[in-house]
Structure 1
Amino acid sequence: MKKETSFLKCVVVVVMGLPVLALSIFILPGIAEFFAELNPELDFLQYPFLIGLYVTAIVFFAALYQTLKLLNFIDKNQAFSDLSVKALKMIKYCAIIISAFYVVFIPLIYLMAEADDAPGMILIGMVIIFGSMVIAVFAAVLQKLLKNAIEIKSENDLTV
């Protein structure tokens, strides 16, 4: 195992995965309950909001899994393969799904921020949306570059 990829794997799993897992277990139910208390007329949205947040967490972990698969392909010198392209495609789709869910959640986040007088919540939602879109665009660019590199490699293999 290469040092660089093992470090990345550790960073991906520990630094990115564990805080999201802790947030999902300990903080998200409190946020949904807080939202229901702030807006009693919208308390029926507490559980759909919570389910939506859990769905985005599951999609996030799916993207992390695809990232780990991609790092394993790099370790095995299979970076220029269709499996890597497929992993990048899944990462792109996961990022798009997360952005789409948060676009749907922005009105609820606005209501919560309005009731609590905390405009920073809207900013956090926008950062998640735009961050996920940046990841989706970056994964799409890498996917296209990798496809082109694989095509060039296969053409070179045929000429030799």
Structure 2
Amino acid sequence: MKPETLFLKLAVVLMGFPVLALCIFLVPELGNIAAKLLPEFDLIKYLVTIVFDASAIPFYFALYQAFKLLRYIDKNKAFSQLSVYSLRNIKFCAITISTLHVLVLPLFYLFAEKDDAPGVIFVGLVVPFASMMIAVFAAVLQKLLKNAIDIKSENDLTI
């Protein structure tokens, strides 16, 4: 492995552990808190658990795509269609995560109403906003990489 991408690969792998810990320990607790705060909604505990755990699936898929992208860089295939596909998949994963967390925003509003804490809504906006920023960044990189591949192929044809 090249030392330039080894650190990034390690960072990608290590990013998965905190999310796994959150899914195992914090998400069930959030479901219990939601059930206590909103007893009039019977299935709120399961809804919270399903949405937060479901958002972990595209997160891990995006991490896998980032790892693949780093492997393409190691193999000198950074300017290939495979890299463009990986960036496209990362973009769609980020949009999916953002969409799932936007669906949960009404729950944050209900929590804020119950506890009289309007700042809770802003806390609920952190993940969708960060995910959309990642989606935009991946889309820009995807477009730049596609243009670079097109220019490279034109140059290969003229020589």
Matched, 1:149 2:157: no
Q: What SS does the aligned partner of 2:104 have? A: helix
TM-score by length of 1: 0.94
Q: What SS does the aligned partner of 1:40 have? A: coil
Partner of 2:32: 33
**Regions of 4+ moved over 4 Å:** none
CA contact (8 A) 1:62 1:94 kept: yes
Q: Which deviates more from structure 2 when the two are superposed, residues 43-52 or residues 87-96?
A: 43-52
CA contact (8 A) 1:9 1:68 kept: yes
- Give the AA of the match of 1:142: L
CA RMSD of aligned residues (A): 1.2
Q: 1:60 & 1:91 partners in 2: Cα distance?
A: 9
Partner of 2:8: 8
Q: 1:113 & 1:43 partners in 2: Cα distance?
A: 19
Q: 1:122 & 1:97 partners in 2: Cα distance?
A: 20
Residue 43 of structure 1: CA displacement?
3.1
Q: Which has the higher helix share?
A: 1
- Give the AA of the match of 1:10: L
Unpaired segments ≥5 residues, structure 1: none
Partner of 1:59: 58
Q: What SS does the aligned partner of 1:41 have? A: coil
Q: 1:148 & 1:70 partners in 2: Cα distance?
A: 17
TM-score by length of 2: 0.95
Q: Which deviates more from structure 2 when the two are superposed, residues 44-53 or residues 71-80?
A: 44-53
Q: What SS does the aligned partner of 2:11 have? A: helix
Q: 1:115 & 1:63 partners in 2: Cα distance?
A: 35
Q: 2:109 & 2:4 partners in 1: Cα distance?
A: 41
Partner of 2:67: 68
Q: Deviations over 1:80-133 (max 9, x none)?
A: 000000000000000111111111110012212332344443222211111111
CA contact (8 A) 1:37 1:43 kept: no
Q: Deviations over 1:18-69 (max 9, x none)?
A: 0000000011001011110111001322112211111101111111111101
Residue 8 of structure 1: CA displacement?
0.7
Partner of 1:89: 88
Q: 2:112 & 2:4 partners in 1: Cα distance?
A: 41
Q: What SS does the aligned partner of 2:146 have? A: helix
